[in-house]
């Protein structure tokens, strides 16, 4: 019998998204691209938003937080090209990795809540 994600798995995913959000938030200082205006401001704002959405999902699970993090994850993934800092290698890779992690985990949570497999009775 297959099961959808349990609440403990969902909690683990949200904790990982909090870590990813905080990592993105501090990355301009940690990796030295705080002077790259678009890259740094995007990391600060989106990192804070991801962290808040994931923390909110821990408090009370609503799908809006997961959809929000899915959108933020996808934005973070494409931001280096859209905002024009893809040539700043460190900022580029920080955004791509954080974007993939956040988007995949949020999509997994969304998929799990909508696609519960049939259980054998």
Q: What is the pLDDT of residues 39-91, one digit of tens each?
A: 999 999 999 999 999 998 888 767 788 899 999 999 999 999 999 999 999 99
Q: How many angstroms separate the Cα of 47 from the Cα of each of 1, 88, 111?
A: 38, 18, 23
Q: What is the pLDDT of residues 6-49, one digit of tens each?
A: 666 678 888 999 999 999 999 999 999 999 999 999 999 999 99
d(CA 21, CA 44): 9
Domain-wise residue ranges, the chain: 25-114
Q: How confident is the model at residue 1 (pLDDT cuts 50, 70, 90)?
A: very low
Collect contacts of 114-120 with beta carbons under 8 A, ≥24 apart.
Answer: 115/4, 116/4, 117/2, 117/3, 117/4, 119/1, 119/2, 119/3, 120/1
pTM value is: 0.84
The DSSP 8-state label assigned to residue 88 in this structure reads S
- What's the mean per-residue pLDDT of the chain? 88
């Amino acid at each position: 019998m297959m099961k959808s994600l349990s609440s403990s798995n969902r909690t683990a995913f949200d904790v990982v998204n909090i870590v990813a959000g905080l990592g993105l938030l501090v990355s301009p200082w940690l990796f030295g691209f705080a002077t790259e205006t678009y890259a740094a401001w995007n990391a600060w704002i989106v990192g804070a938003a991801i962290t808040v959405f994931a923390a909110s999902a821990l408090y009370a699970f609503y799908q809006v937080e997961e959809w929000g993090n899915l959108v933020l994850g996808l934005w973070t993934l494409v931001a280096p090209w859209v905002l024009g800092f893809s040539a700043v290698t460190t900022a580029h890779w920080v955004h791509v990795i954080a974007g993939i992690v956040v988007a995949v985990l949020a999509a997994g949570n969304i998929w799990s809540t909508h696609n519960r497999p049939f259980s054998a009775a």
